[in-house]
Chain A
């Protein structure tokens, strides 16, 4: 049982480059989330999805895009990387039922130089 899998674990980008952070879950969860965590800070919600084909913005969506073509995958896209996007990114998934817990991936550490 893999749970929530994020790839890559680490990445260094140059300013202006683009990349996609991958997130996959094998629990058939409808709800998926992307968070970022800056050093010494709490988690901030970037985007979330309540099912395939449905996405919505969270607290800090600027500079990111997402898609949800399947239930399993929820990739996060950075089009023009900026130093302010240096952070650790966490993906999470959750079942539909009220009161159920969210499962988190182990994170992707991104540095933009």
Chain B
């Protein structure tokens, strides 16, 4: 079962902000929202995560709606090197551990 829903692809002009949406309408109160990205076939790279509050780090900002049913990853000034597949992940707590389930992600293309 899909835990998150993301648009399959997006374009963004270089230097502009890239806003990547994610729907996680069945999220539970103690589940975090994580964002990873994958460039070509390299291993996924951690970007940011959050629970309730908005978060910001050197790579991106994460905006989580008040009802926590959706979130947006913001890359403030997209560069060509930000072209990648971005995964929004809800961390599911199973009985014996924490499973990370990945959806199909959003393929972001930054256009010169």
| A-to-B contact residues, CB < 8 Å | 4, 31, 33, 35, 37, 41-45, 48-50, 54, 56, 58-59, 88, 90, 92, 94, 98-99, 101-107, 109
- B83-107 residues with Cβ-Cβ distance < 8 A to A are 85, 87, 94, 96-105
Indicate the size class of the contact surface on chain B.
20 to 34
Q: Contact mask B33-59 → A, CB, 8 Å, 1/0?
A: 010000001111110010100000000
**Least distance between B44 CB and chain A CB atoms (Å):** 5
Could you tell me if B97 and A56 are in contact, using CB atoms closer than 8 angstroms?
yes
**Least distance between A74 CB and chain B CB atoms (Å):** 13
Could you tell me if A101 and B99 are in contact, using CB atoms closer than 8 angstroms?
no
Q: How many A-B residue pairs have CB under 8 A?
A: 64
| B-to-A contact residues, CB < 8 Å | 30, 32, 34, 41-46, 49, 51, 85, 87, 94, 96-105
Residues of B within 8 A of A41 (CB): 104
Residues of A within 8 A of B43 (CB): 4, 90, 92, 104-107
Cβ contacts A to B, 26 pairs, < 8 Å: A31-B97, A33-B99, A35-B102, A37-B41, A42-B85, A42-B87, A42-B104, A43-B44, A43-B87, A45-B100, A45-B102, A50-B97, A50-B98, A54-B97, A56-B96, A58-B99, A59-B101, A88-B41, A90-B44, A92-B44, A94-B98, A94-B100, A99-B49, A99-B51, A104-B43, A107-B42
